[in-house]
């Protein structure tokens, strides 16, 4: 199922969401054009590798620890290809504005980054020795989806459903997002059973981000609400 748009209203301009969209696109274009260095070199330096954090925890390797912590954040703004970028940015565009409207601009930025950290930490916990570079905003965006799942479960999402024939249908957000996180969990379970260590989709990062979003959204600082009073 591919979400096309939602009908949840927002009352503020999502400046931070627009900034995140633009930043991801600019960084991808710079990598694609080889600015300031070839893409492979950028990935080698700024992508996240779970083994770096493991080396810090087990061997007390400070250099690896610093690199691991820094790349937790740099990897959130890197993408491996056009479809990876477009898919992530499209989902962020659909769901991110409502979460920013609820949390407020600064809180939304912190929420996004914290969700990304939660996603990467679960990925590292379940793949502690992996040296495979991981990139993408998917974990942070999964946190946004988890928050939307909690805050707007009844909002309708126009969804493209490719089943025998391609058709469009309005579905409740809890179905669209619930179906998505179920597929990610099953994908993660399958990769764990098969002991997959090569590149591919970091399913557990998606699960970690979604869980972080669900856990954080109700306890995270929200913007001050403004109420309008009518005189009688």
3-class secondary structure, 220? coil
**pLDDT value of residue 64:** 87
First to last CA, the chain: 49
- Count CA atoms closer than 13 A to 9's CA, side-chain side: 1
Residue 163's beta-bridge partner residues?
165
H-helix segments, the chain: 15-33, 39-46, 50-59, 62-74, 82-103, 105-126, 138-151, 173-193, 203-216
* Token output for 47: 């992508």
Q: What is the pLDDT along the chain (232 residues), one digit of tens a residue?
A: 899 999 999 999 999 999 999 999 999 999 999 888 888 899 999 999 999 999 988 888 888 889 999 999 999 999 989 999 999 999 999 999 999 999 999 999 999 999 999 999 999 999 888 899 999 999 999 999 999 999 999 999 999 988 777 889 999 999 999 999 999 999 988 877 766 555 578 889 999 999 999 999 989 877 765 444 333 4
Determine the Cα–Cα distance for residues 67 and 52; give it in Å rounded to an integer: 7
Determine the Cα–Cα distance for residues 206 and 69; give it in Å rounded to an integer: 19
3-class secondary structure, 194? coil
Determine the Cα–Cα distance for residues 14 and 18; give it in Å rounded to an integer: 6
CB atoms within 10 A of CB 218: 10
Cβ neighbors of 51 (< 8 A, separation 6 or more) are 64, 128, 129, 130, 131
Fold of 2-216: Rhomboid-like fold (1.20.1540)
**pLDDT value of residue 224:** 64
Determine the Cα–Cα distance for residues 139 and 3; give it in Å rounded to an integer: 18
What's the DSSP call for residue 225?
P
**pLDDT value of residue 117:** 96
Q: Under a CB-based contact definition with an 8 Å cutoff, are residues 168 and 151 in contact?
A: no
* Token output for 39: 């893409």
**pLDDT value of residue 193:** 74
**C-alpha dihedral sign at 57, 61, 66, 67:** negative
Kindly list the domain boundaries of the chain, sorted by start residue.
2-216
**pLDDT value of residue 143:** 97
Burial of 198 (0-12, 13-18, 19+ CB in 10 A): exposed
């Amino acid at each position: 199922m591919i979400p096309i748009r939602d009908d949840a209203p927002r009352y503020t301009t999502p400046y931070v969401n627009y900034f995140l969209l633009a930043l991801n696109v600019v960084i991808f274009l710079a990598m694609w054009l080889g600015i300031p260095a070839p893409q492979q070199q950028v990935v080698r330096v700024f992508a996240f590798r779970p083994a770096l954090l493991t080396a810090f925890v087990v061997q007390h390797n400070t250099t690896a620890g610093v690199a691991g912590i820094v790349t937790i954040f740099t990897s959130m703004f890197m993408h491996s290809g056009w479809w990876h970028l477009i898919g992530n940015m499209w989902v962020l565009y659909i769901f991110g504005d409502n979460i920013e409207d609820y949390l407020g601009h600064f809180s939304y930025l912190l929420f996004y980054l914290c969700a990304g950290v939660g996603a990467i930490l679960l990925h590292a916990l379940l793949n502690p020795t992996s040296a495979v570079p991981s990139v993408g905003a998917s974990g942070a965006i999964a946190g946004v989806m988890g928050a939307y799942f909690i805050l707007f479960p009844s909002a309708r999402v126009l969804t493209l459903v490719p089943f025998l024939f391609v058709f469009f249908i309005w579905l409740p957000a809890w179905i669209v997002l619930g179906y998505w996180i179920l597929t990610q969990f099953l994908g993660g379970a399958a990769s764990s059973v098969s002991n997959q260590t090569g590149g591919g989709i970091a399913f557990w990062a998606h699960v970690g981000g979604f869980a972080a979003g669900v856990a954080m959204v109700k306890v995270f600082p929200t913007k001050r609400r403004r109420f309008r009073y009518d005189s009688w």
